[in-house]
Chains A and B, each alone.
Chain A
Amino acid sequence: DAGVTQSPTHLIKTRGQHVTLRCSPISGHKSVSWYQQVLGQGPQFIFQYYEKEERGRGNFPDRFSARQFPNYSSELNVNALLLGDSALYLCASSLEPGQIINEQFFGPGTRLTVL
C-alpha cells in the first residue's frame, strides 16, 4: 500500500509569489494535517482537516490556507511568500481525529525555498 505522498518534492519560489503544495493520504484515512518544519526545529502544526472541514489551525498568518477534497487529498496554499516561509512542509494522515489520538503517518515532505 502506498504511504502518504506529497508533491512536489522540492520547490523554489521568490518573495511575493504564491505556492500550492499537495498531499494524498493513505487510502482509508480521512484526516490530513499540515506541519511546517524550519531547519533545526521541530515541526509546527499549521492545519488539520477532517471530512473536508477544518478541525484545527495553528498560529500561522492568513497567508496560509488549506482545503481538503472529497477524495481526502489536500492542498496547502501560501500567498505572498516571505523568506521565512522557507521550510520543509510535512503532511500527515490519520484515520480520524479523536480524544485518543490515532497514529499519524507522515509523508516525505516538500522542501520550499523562498529566494
Chain B
Amino acid sequence: SQQGEEDPQALSIQEGENATMNCSYKTSINNLQWYRQNSGRGLVHLILIRSNEREKHSGRLRVTLDTSKKSSSLLITASRAADTASYFCATGRGYSTLTFGKGTMLLVSP
C-alpha cells in the first residue's frame, strides 16, 4: 500500500517558474526523501530530511517537513525543461525500506 500521497498528480509550468509539490503521509517516520524519475527509468535521490529537521536546501531544491501535519513539500526554483520528470516522496522507518507515494508528474515547457 502507498504511504504517501503527492499533490498535485500533475503540474505544468513554464521555464523559470517555481514548482511546488506536496506530500502527505500516514504513520510516524524517521525520515522523508524525495526522488526524481525520468521516463520510467531508475530513481534519482534528490534530498533527505530527517524527522527532527524542518527545512533543508540543496541547490534549487527546498524541502520542508511538518511532522505534526504529516506533510512535506518540495520546491524547485527557477525550473528548467530538464526538470521534467516524475517526483516521488518516500518515507523511511526502521531498516532501509522506503514507502513511496504515487508521484507528481512535472512538465516544464521552454
Q: Which A positions have Cβ atoms within 8 angstroms of B?
A: 4, 31, 33, 35, 37, 39-45, 48, 50, 55-56, 58-59, 88, 90, 92, 94, 96-109, 111
A101 → chain B closest CB, angstroms: 4
Q: Size class of B's contact patch?
A: 20 to 34
Q: Which of B2, B30, B33, B97 contacts A42 (CB 8 A)?
A: B2
**Chain A residue nearest to B89 in the complex (CB):** A42
B80 at the interface (CB under 8 A from A): no
- B40 and A88 contact, CB distance less than 8 A: yes
- A55 and B42 contact, CB distance less than 8 A: no
**Chain B residue nearest to A40 in the complex (CB):** B102
Q: Given A33-B97, A48-B95, 17 more contacts at CB 8 Å? A: A31-B96, A39-B40, A41-B103, A42-B4, A42-B102, A48-B96, A50-B95, A88-B40, A97-B95, A99-B94, A101-B30, A101-B48, A101-B98, A104-B45, A106-B42, A106-B44, A109-B40
Q: Which residues of B contact A55 (CB under 8 A)?
A: 95-96
B106 → chain A closest CB, angstroms: 15
